[in-house]
A and B are shown apart, each in its own frame.
Chain A
Amino acid sequence: MLFTSYNFILFLLALFVLYYITPKKYQWLLLLAAGFFFYSFSGWDNVAYITVTIAATYFTAVKIGQLYEKQESYLRENKASLTREEKKAYKEKIKAYQKKYLLLCLFFDLGILAVLKYTNFMISNINSVSRLFNGREISFLDIALPMGISFYTFQAVGYLVDVYRGKYPPEKNIGKFALFVSFFPQLIQGPISRFDDLGKQLYSGHSFDFRNVSFGIERILWGFFKKLVIADRILVGVKTITQDPETYQGIYVLIGMIFYAVQLYADFTGGIDITIGIAEVLGIKLKENFERPFFSKSTAEYWRRWHITMGTWFRDYVFYPVSISNVMMKVSKFSREKFGEKIGKRVPVYLSSIIVWFATGIWHGASWNFVVWGLLNCLVIVVSQEFEPFYAWFHNKFNVRDKFLFRVFQVGRTFLLMSAIRMLDVYRNVRVTFQMYGSLLTKWNIGEVFNGALMKLGLDKSDYIVLVFGIIIMITVSLAQRSGSVREKLYARPDIIRYAAYVGLFVSIIVFGAYGIGYDSNQFIYNQF
């Protein structure tokens, strides 16, 4: 059931009504049932996968929690008789048990993800190698990736690690835990929530609050506007250019790059707006996933503002553990001894970064495109860090840091850089993508743009008019957000203005949305990750 399908809208309307006539105590049960109902549309085998992940994670967390309780009661009971060393030894013993359970469950949860998501990728690589030696090729497995598996697995894993770290006790009620993993608005494309933030909100029950509901609906509409009016309309242009790289080279690569940046932004942020809006109507506040990323002045900043919950997830559950792992400590010690303090201290940080970015890339998709995409991001960040002394010298010398034009340059540069790297999403392989980078720099055909070429990309004049207005509105809203929530600002205005904005937005989606016959039924881009 696509977010943009009529069935989903009907489902939402029914759920909203049911939710607020259900006693608060039972609202979580309704959400759980709704989640599984929603998910069942993607196939019952997918329901089985998520159920298995939920069950495995739940029981492991409970077991880890019981070990904490056991440790606590043992230490309490034997407080007087145990020495400090004995207490420490006992804690280590318990931790070792917990670690076994943790690793077993991580292996299981991530194993499902790995098998379903990466088996065919592995087979394709083995076959490539095999072909070099004229060896036999392995057949691909007929497996479909369950919807949102990357997101719900990460959410479950984050919860398990937090319980292991003693951040909070495990949830005792399996139904409630199942709701945390399967909360339907965020099931398919995030944001990736944390249990200590979302759990309580899901279970506490909510009364109807006009402001929450109207804010939520406003956000949903805004998401639909971005998705249907902008993303799905510009998509045709993106496809035309990127699916025929033999024809569309040079300036078209740049056009495709900008088009895809707009599409991805409108699609992904639109999807997240819908998700957050739905949760808001239900009285639940999800974490923001974006903070105007295209206004970032550097790649590092961009990644702090784009897909924030994924970034922080990788930071907390991959980067930190890897950075402070025993192996990395040894690497650090070794490299300091071998290469000296200056270079040696960088080695573990960069190594951890490479691991994180490799994981981020492969998480986005089982292909070399995404691996290279992740590593290119890493490269840009590392190079930027290495250039810090140069930047410092430059700013000392020229003092342009706060100049408006320089900031514009920084924003433009980051946008183009990130958009260029993102082209790995859409070209069919790494080689073609790099060929297109080459063509962009070497093929000078800008004149074609002024000879009506833009009208041959599958978009006509009316499409461009809608896109230009849509993008202007999107940028204006982003600019207005810098000084606070646009919805709050709108709320403070006279009702007539607010209601006119609602009606205008709704009517624009109905009339200018790229949906229905003649348009593909487009899944959100991040659903596939």
Chain B
Amino acid sequence: MKKAKKPVKLAVTAIITIAILALLQNLLMPKYMTEILEGALITEYYREENRNHDVIFIGDCEVYENFSPVTLWQEYGITSFIRGSAQQLIWHSYYLLEETLKYEKPKVVVFNVLSMKYDKPQKEAYNRMALDGMPLSLTKIKAIQASMMEDEKFITYIFPILRYHSRWSELTSEDFKYLFRKDKITHNGYLMRVDVKPVTTIPQARKLANYEFSDICYEYLDKMTRLCKENGIELVLIKAPTLYPHWYDEWDKQMEDYAEENGLLYINFLKYTDEIGIDYQTDTYDAGLHLNLSGAEKLSRYFGRILKEKFSLPDHRTNEELSRGWAAKGVRYAEEIEKQYAELEEYGYLKAFNSRRDEE
């Protein structure tokens, strides 16, 4: 009898230990609810009730700050989601796409090509923002392996408590408040900002020793192209109309050539700013790095028309069920616009974005 009890006691102890560690992990992981909101983006996709979109965006801040899925819906009845994260590198994008395709098969995938300029991981924080929000899967494991910096450890992505354990001394009320449930931060992946900071000067572009994108980036771009073709998805390459980091002509040419060779659509929106109607005095919140709400809506209107015409995307606004869902999103979207303007009025800045922001 006593012997029989031992395995049970051990099992119970193991379960309790795992439960304690899981709880502590939840507590210790950054919540990204009131600042560094970019950290909360990736995980939001998995909380979507209806994961069936016409268009999936992948890429860095040039997608999640510059396109508004709500506008795409309201103007064209296009359903879309942005799987963006801060300084999302091309391998992050590829694996996020691979992961997304497990949940749905969009008609169009839009990839912002700025990340072609990075051939190695840049910063642990960006890896974390791109990967921590993904559920554990073989794709995530491959993504971790492709992304890790030299001093990072694989196991810390599987058990993030091993990375964030020392946050115990920095816990705030936010960590307890969002221990089990987080607020939605984005609007289908779009991180809204209504504030304005006009462009005054544009930093001079540095000359580069080598303008060739590296093999590793092409390798992932090829994989992305192949993956889309295998799944009957149209891949669209874009360069968002933000003024810097500078997008060199040599880079643009390479992307044009690549698109042509692979029969893809490539749009460098920097060439169409007038057509889009972007006014860099009113449509950017950080002097040209990112568009604000006004700019994002203009760009979405412009791009939505192209998407609709080129890929014959249906207008879902006649679908009642979808319309109900998107109407609710529209209400939340409008409420946030109102809230942000009220905040601007009261403080002169947006509280959530007041902490120092990284370049991208």
Contacts and interface: CB of A to CB of B under 8 A. Distances in A.
A210 B10 CA distance: 11
A516 interface: yes
Nearest to A502: B13
A513 interface: yes
A512 B161 CA distance: 11
Instruction: Please classify how large the interface on chain B is, using the bins under 10, 10 to 19, 20 to 34, 35 or more.
Output: 20 to 34
B165 A510 contact: yes
B337 interface: no
B155 A513 contact: no
Contacts, number: 50
A511 interface: yes
Contact of A510 (B9, B16, B162): B162
Instruction: Please classify how large the interface on chain A is, using the bins under 10, 10 to 19, 20 to 34, 35 or more.
Output: 20 to 34
Interface string B305-322: 000000000000000000
Interface in B150-171: 151-156, 161-163, 165-166, 168-169
Interface string B155-196: 110000111011011000000000000000000000000000
Interface in A459-511: 460-462, 495, 499, 502-503, 506-507, 510-511
A398 interface: no
B165 A499 contact: no
Given A511-B168, A516-B156, A499 B21 contact: no
B344 interface: no
A518 interface: yes
Contacts of A383: none
Chain B interface mostly helix, strand, loop or mixed? helix
Contacts of B21: 507, 510
B168 A516 contact: no
B175 to A, nearest CB: 14
A499 B9 contact: yes
B168 A512 contact: yes
A392 interface: no
Contact of A210 (B6, B163, B165): B6
A462 B169 contact: yes
A517 interface: yes
Contact of B20 (A210, A462, A507): A507
A166 to B, nearest CB: 47
Contact of A507 (B24, B124, B169): B24
A499 B13 contact: yes
Interface string A328-342: 000000000000000
A133 interface: no
B17 interface: yes
Contacts of B169: 460-462
A6 interface: yes
Contact of B17 (A507, A513, A516): A507
A517 B151 contact: yes
Contacts of A210: 6
Interface string B1-33: 000001001000100110011001000100000
Interface in A209-256: 210
B155 A516 contact: no
Contacts of B154: 6
Interface string A94-126: 000000000000000000000000000000000
A210 B156 CA distance: 30
B190 to A, nearest CB: 31
16 contacts: A460-B169, A461-B169, A499-B9, A502-B13, A503-B13, A503-B17, A507-B21, A510-B21, A510-B161, A511-B28, A511-B161, A512-B168, A513-B165, A515-B162, A516-B153, A517-B151
Given A499-B9, A515-B162, A519-B166, 7 more contacts: A6-B154, A6-B155, A210-B6, A495-B9, A503-B17, A511-B24, A517-B151
